[in-house]
Amino acid sequence: MTIIDRYAVFGSPISHSKSPRIHTLFAEQTHQALEYTAQEVNAETFIAAVTEFFAQGGKGLNCTVPLKELAYQFATEKTERAKAAKAVNTLKLQSDGSILGDNTDGIGLVNDLTINHGIELKNKRVLILGAGGATRGIITLLLEQKPDCLIVANRTTEKALQLAIEFNHSFEGCGLDTLHDKAFDLIINATSASLSDELPPLPENLLAEKGVCYDLAYSNTPTAFVRWGQEAQGASKSLDGLGMLVEQAAEAFLLWRGVRPDTKTVIALLNAERQG
């Protein structure tokens, strides 16, 4: 009897997740036998759920909102990029029984921006909205692209200020209410507001001419932030996080299975499915 390796994504909310579909497509493409499911898990139930998953023979997990910082604490070993982020979106059971924590969000975002969409970040003014687990994961990789400046603005100002201290002031932290009179070439929405079709309170003219808006969240219809970019800011591109999702998943798949799937065909298929 063939034993199928089990993987899953934990988070809350999770019913909208495309991760099971993506990993199933990756498995078919690379001829790997595995099962990948989605499980509703919140911060209160995380430790019990993750402990049971690995005790029952699970091989690897993705963790999404609001679990990335908890997953970081759960991992017994961490990759360098996970340590930099202090947030983990990928857990892997290793042969010695230890649990490796990785963060593939940053590389997923940068690959989607630069390779899939041809967006150059060097010398650009970049704004990240939000200071949660996703922001932690993308900061280091964005800074490596040498933007002119990077600002992290959060609804709870203190959290953005603390994050800037933690990252040795390699970027500026501030509140959403201090963004007046500033303009950015790239605005990244890393808040979870889109999950309830809300828009963070933002001033007018926040996007520079020919600027780009990028929502980490994704949806079958344009998110509130993607619509804001298109309609209120005249963005040259207003993108959602479907491409990033596929790219970060490919990095997780590589960690788990030792093979990197082709992402372009999967992104094209998912885009066609949501438009049809």
- Residues of this chain that interact with ligand NDP (CB under 6 A) are 65-66, 68, 105, 108, 130-135, 154-156, 159, 190-195, 198, 200, 216-218, 241, 244-245, 248
Tell me how far apart the alpha carbons of residues 90 and 80 are, in angstroms, rounded to a whole number: 13
Q: Which residues pair with 184 in a beta bridge?
A: 207
State the amino acid at position 176 in one-letter form.
Answer: L
Residue nearest ligand NDP, CB atom distance: 132
Q: What is the CA radius of gyration of the chain?
A: 18
Tell me how far apart the alpha carbons of residues 70 and 50 are, in angstroms, rounded to a whole number: 10
State which residue, 105 or 185, has the beta carbon closest to ligand NDP.
105
User: Per the residue annotation, which of 68, 86, 92, 124 is the catalytic one?
Assistant: 68
In the complex, the smallest distance separating the C-beta of residue 133 from ligand NDP, rounded to whole angstroms, is 4
State which residue, 58 or 108, has the beta carbon closest to ligand NDP.
108
The answer to whether the Cα torsion of 113, 116, 119, 122 is positive or negative is positive
State which residue, 95 or 196, has the beta carbon closest to ligand NDP.
196
Q: Which two tokens stand for residue 72?
A: 């970081």
Q: Which two tokens stand for residue 238?
A: 């207003």
Tell me how far apart the alpha carbons of residues 206 and 204 are, in angstroms, rounded to a whole number: 6
In the complex, the smallest distance separating the C-beta of residue 127 from ligand NDP, rounded to whole angstroms, is 13
Strand, coil or helix: what is 185? Answer: strand
In the complex, the smallest distance separating the C-beta of residue 226 from ligand NDP, rounded to whole angstroms, is 12
Strand, coil or helix: what is 228? Answer: helix
State which residue, 135 or 140, has the beta carbon closest to ligand NDP.
135
In the complex, the smallest distance separating the C-beta of residue 19 from ligand NDP, rounded to whole angstroms, is 9
Q: For residue 68, indicate whether it is catalytic.
A: yes
- The residues annotated with a catalytic role in the active site are 68
